[in-house]
Chains A and B, each alone.
Chain A
Amino acid sequence: MPAIAIEAAGLTKDFEKGRRTVWQRLRRERDRRERFRAVDGVDLHVEAGEIFGILGPNGAGKTTTMRMLATLLEPTSGQATVLGHDLVTEARAIRRRLGAVLSGERSLYWKLTARENLEYFAALYHVPPAETKGRIAEILEIVHLTDRADDYVEKYSTGMRQRLVLARALLPAPSLLLLDEPTVGLDPQAARDLRERVVQLREEGRTVLLTTHYMEEADQLCDRIAIVDHGRIVALDTPAGLKRDLNATEVVRLELHGPERSDAALVARLESAGQVAQRTRENGTLHLTVHCQSARELVPLVIDAARAEDAELANIQVQPVSLEDVFISLTGRALRE
């Protein structure tokens, strides 16, 4: 297996909004549709054997990027190699060693059993017939579906279907797995089980590229994370590195009751001990999010500032810096807005 699983440079994808009517096509009218850039010059370098995360809000371009790397979508421009093969000209060669979970549990045949589903896909993955039965048995064991293997999928719970979808992705014994929002729709236990499985995959020597909008998931699982917004990578590093770049170790969230005219002065006083990342006023209350090295140094400052500006401290919360804070500081928005 090559040392680099994915190498992409300037990957871009434009879509046209709307449809052209048959009449417009027949008249060979100029295509006046608005173009929308979903992925804007993404560079990626994913090493073999790592779990690489793409984190961003909905509509950031994560799924489009995944679909391009999965060879379902052709890039508008840019170059990429996946597992040593060119993305556009050697698509089938990539698909032979790729496992992907893109559309989740909806993508199974409900009128077939789990085993029948896997047998079908084994043929599509060109698994040698002599190996099919054994491989399916092994995979069913891995995802803990052996005793329900001969039940119709329509009788499965969401968690079981998600496990079966993962089983399907393991059929080609893939070196690279693409998982698009793999825990969406799962209950906490099922999500936890899936995350453990992802870690196991890395231990087996596979590369995993996953997208998520759950920052805790990215933080917990990924060796490196690319944060995307509006189709661009705005930061790329290990989780610890990203948080370090924030130049803060703690996040203090404050609620202050006071006159609006004092807001600017309050913020100015606090900036001496930290960085005010977010500021909103709602129903007469000023909400502040402050990144600082030490909350212990900031809090006395807060009390003094409030007294000086005739404001009342209503609530204070101290948390360690998270990826959400990194995202807010980079984009000014929350991940789940």
Chain B
Amino acid sequence: MGELRQEARAAWAIARKELQVFARYRLNAVNQVIQPLYQTLIPGVLLGATFAIGGQAVGLAETAGTTDIVGYLFLGMLALNLASAGFWSVAFSIKQELDAGTLEPAWLTPTRRETFVVGMTAAGLVLAVIATVILVLIGIWLFGADLAPRLLIALPVLAISAFGVLGIGYLVGALVLRMRDANFFVDAADFIFVALSGAAFPIVVLPDLVQWVSYLLPTTHALDLMRVSALDTPPLLPLPIEWLLLVVTSAALLVVGRAAWLRTEHRLRVRGTLGQH
């Protein structure tokens, strides 16, 4: 128990350090929130307007069950930010620490190495939640989204997805430690993950085989549950099954990710490549 408390304290210190350093690059922090707005949301809303009939997104009503493009897309940012927490927080942080030479002294301490992934992911999740809340508020106040976010459902959804996101963090951490230049792979994986989760479009427009992959992602179910609650869209699957799949896919991702991390950790101890970046 004592050891668990020590590891938890260390994880908190790691998350706090990540947030401290992040906040000190102020412009970057702002950009992190604003980027999805101009890169994804606005082009998406305007593309929707190109198909609108009488100012209504009647096409979206057919495929997703709502005409509220703005609400649909802005809420989709939740999936984008959650996935980014897993992909980018860990990948970016580890790469930075490797380049700066600060990972090695941290690994000289008795703190478990996987605790670093936990801490970095936690920092990413905090940023993801803040970014999503800000974007949703912008959507409501500036773009007229008709969201009735029922926050009570957000909490268990986020809590369960967090485990899946941690699994992504483990996987990505393992990749970054193994590869000298993993940027492309992390970027591409992040993009595919977010696209297949239904952030920008309902997954029903995807080919059947690809839809199967979507169902394996926890963010697909997290996003769907949030949209059902906030926009009254019909769920992809019966609700109890959505919840079950959210739990199962999050847990599976966590187990697989952690196994990959532990293997990589051991490989590093044998090959000793940590200091050679």
Evaluate contact between B17 and A112: CB separation under 8 angstroms.
yes
| Interface 1/0 per residue, B1-42 and A, CB below 8 Å | 000001001101110110011001100000000000000000
Size range of the chain B interface in the assembly: 20 to 34
Evaluate contact between B275 and A103: CB separation under 8 angstroms.
yes
Which residues from 203 to 218 on chain B have a C-beta closer than 8 Å to any C-beta of chain A?
none
Evaluate contact between B110 and A102: CB separation under 8 angstroms.
no
Chain A residues in 8 Å Cβ range of B17: 109, 112, 116, 120
Q: A109-B21, A112-B21, A126-B6 are in contact. Are A74 and B105 (CB under 8 A)?
A: no
Q: Which chain A residue lies CB-closest to B2?
A: A126
- Count A-B pairs with CB separation below 8 Å: 96
Q: A67-B275, A109-B21 are in contact. Are A72 and B104 (CB under 8 A)?
A: yes
Chain B residues in 8 Å Cβ range of A296: none
Size range of the chain A interface in the assembly: 35 or more
A32 close to B (CB within 8 Å):
no
B107 close to A (CB within 8 Å):
yes
A234 close to B (CB within 8 Å):
no
Q: A109-B21, A112-B17, A116-B20 are in contact. Are A74 and B270 (CB under 8 A)?
A: yes
Q: Which chain A residue lies CB-closest to B275?
A: A103
Q: A70 CA to B12 CA in the complex, in Å?
A: 25
Q: A73-B272, A112-B20 are in contact. Are A102 and B9 (CB under 8 A)?
A: no
Evaluate contact between A107 and B105: CB separation under 8 angstroms.
yes
Chain A residues in 8 Å Cβ range of B24: 111
Chain B's nearest CB lies how many Å from the CB of A17? 12
Name the prevailing secondary structure of the B interface residues: helix
Q: Which chain B residue lies CB-closest to A168?
A: B105
Chain A residues in 8 Å Cβ range of B6: 126
Evaluate contact between B108 and A70: CB separation under 8 angstroms.
yes
B111 close to A (CB within 8 Å):
yes
Q: A109 CA to B9 CA in the complex, in Å?
A: 19
Give the residue of B14, B21, B101, B110 whose beta carbon is less than 8 angstroms from that of A103.
B101
A129 close to B (CB within 8 Å):
yes
Q: A124 CA to B112 CA in the complex, in Å?
A: 9
A121 close to B (CB within 8 Å):
yes
Q: A257 CA to B105 CA in the complex, in Å?
A: 54
A279 close to B (CB within 8 Å):
no
23 pairs from A and B in contact (CB 8 Å cutoff): A70-B108, A73-B269, A74-B270, A95-B108, A102-B105, A102-B275, A103-B104, A107-B100, A107-B101, A107-B102, A107-B104, A107-B105, A109-B100, A110-B100, A112-B20, A116-B20, A119-B13, A121-B105, A123-B13, A124-B109, A124-B110, A125-B111, A126-B111
